[in-house]
Structure 1
């Protein structure tokens, strides 16, 4: 299984069906709707030298398991950078907005690296995958997640945050090159970093999400990535966090920042 059929429908028709198995509470998994908007935006880029530099998403409202429409607009197309806005529509209302910046590499006298090094986790084969339970959101069945540090959500932990391994589920996705929209989608599967300190399950909802891409993604759907989240602040029903993602070669490839509503 891949996103190929969904992306093909986006390219060929105005209204696109939502595949089964992607519910996350009362809405469709935000990673899927983000991937749909990003794919539409990517189709507007005709310069092979321009790659995705960053994207930000506002989740305006819940997307139901029924057809949606994706629209795009080029905000500005410069020599080095192109900025595009994409929107996902349902029931005559905007349910999500994505801004994406695509750029080509430029010569620069600045070359500095102060990024975090990859955590040293035991191999995925030596650890236990998070088992899927029917009471979990459907979207979790599409990914393999392994906790390598920190506690699971809603376990009354003393501290927030965690880290581990993740990839597309072998049982549901075929091997093959990982596209950029697929990569961005999988980043959204981890729960909020604040959740381990909760004593019992509670809903949470992403409000806004920002992803910076540091390197081109060259990976297969079978490849494992490392993830580590850091909670900056949580109060008044909202939590702010950032996360780092490393590829199977321990290259830091993406940094995410997110604001989450916590209903607890």
Structure 2
């Protein structure tokens, strides 16, 4: 079984970027797991960009299935006084399948300090939370992450999910790459209102990192996805991620296609 670090180590240089092979253990349906593609695009941007400030924002578009051998490319779009913008693309056998835009920005002095991203009350700590069976869940989850349900069982059907998620192997990864690899592991909240047979697909994902140095305890991250609108096959959801001490690490929004 290949860890994400193994995938990066096995990359082969091309004229415009690097080629990697997407292991089947990182699949989500018929394509690479979205966090895998996002982390791959980020890792290439960081390799090409060199000494970059911390990542503060990212936008990812998931346009076509990616599997087998794929080529990832990155380039600097603009280098300013405080921030650097970079773009990454991933190409599969049918052409462009994934694009990402990253903003790396060093801290600057500000008189404003605001935090309206506190961890919700009533969340179970990982030690008390029920684990997701390794026989369930998407292929990428079963093979690469430990998952525990962060809320007690309930019959209430709300378009929201809370999970504790811990990647099994990130020791050789940059902490920000590891965070992005993990941050998309939670299913869309709207899936709690759907039949299990209804396919869903992420179209667009934007995240804002709230810290330049993400860290947690014992590898656990708390993920939340909350769908706030769904109609005509499209769903909009808000996302958030905290570390094991309840410190907010990331917020985001995602656009989901519903095929049923």
Q: TM-score, normalised by structure 1?
A: 0.87
Cα distance in 1 between the residues matched to 2:254 and 2:39: 17
Counterpart position of 1:32 = 36
What aligned pairs does 1:68-87 form with structure 2 within 5 A after superposition? 68-87=70-89
Q: In 1, Cα distance between the equivalents of 2:24 and 2:196?
A: 28
- Following the alignment from structure 2 to structure 1, what is the Cα–Cα distance between the partners of residues 243 and 101? 24
In the alignment, the residues of structure 2 paired with residue 222 and residue 11 of structure 1 have an alpha-carbon distance, to the nearest angstrom, of 33
User: Is contact 1:11-1:40 (8 Å) kept?
Assistant: no
Do structure 1's residue 128 and structure 2's residue 145 form an aligned pair?
A: no
Aligned Cα root-mean-square deviation (Å): 2.3
Measured in 1, the distance between the counterparts of 2:202 and 2:130 equals: 27
1:216 is aligned to 2:215? no
Offset at residue 260 of structure 1 (A): 0.5
Aligned length: 255
Given the alignment of the two structures, is residue 23 of structure 1 paired with residue 19 of structure 2, yes or no? no
Deviations 1:11-54 (A, max 9, x none): 74532212231111111111111111110011233335x10001
What is the alpha-carbon distance in structure 2 between the residues aligned to residue 60 and residue 221 of structure 1? 35
CA deviations over 1:218-248 (Å, ceiling 9, x no partner) = 4369421112222110110111001111112
CA distance in 1, matches of 2:22, 2:222: 28
- C-alpha distance 85-126 of structure 1, shift in aligned 2 (>3 A): same
> What does residue 165 of structure 1 align with?
164
**1:211–1:254: 8 Å Cα contact kept in structure 2?**
yes
Instruction: Give SS of 2:104's match.
Output: strand
User: What's the counterpart of residue 224 of structure 2?
Assistant: 228
Offset at 1:162?
Answer: 2.1
SS at match of 1:133: coil
Between 1:237-246 and 1:157-166, the stretch displaced more is 157-166
Is the 8 Å Cα contact of residues 245 and 253 (structure 1) preserved in structure 2? yes
- Corresponding residue of 2:139: 138
C-alpha deviation, 1:175, in angstroms: 5.2
Q: Which residue of 2 aligns with 1:60?
A: 63
- Structure 2 distance, partners of 1:181, 1:260, is 23
In structure 2, C-alpha distance between the alignment counterparts of 1:62 and 1:116, rounded to whole Å = 35
Q: Residues of 2 paired with 1:151 and 1:203: CA distance?
A: 24
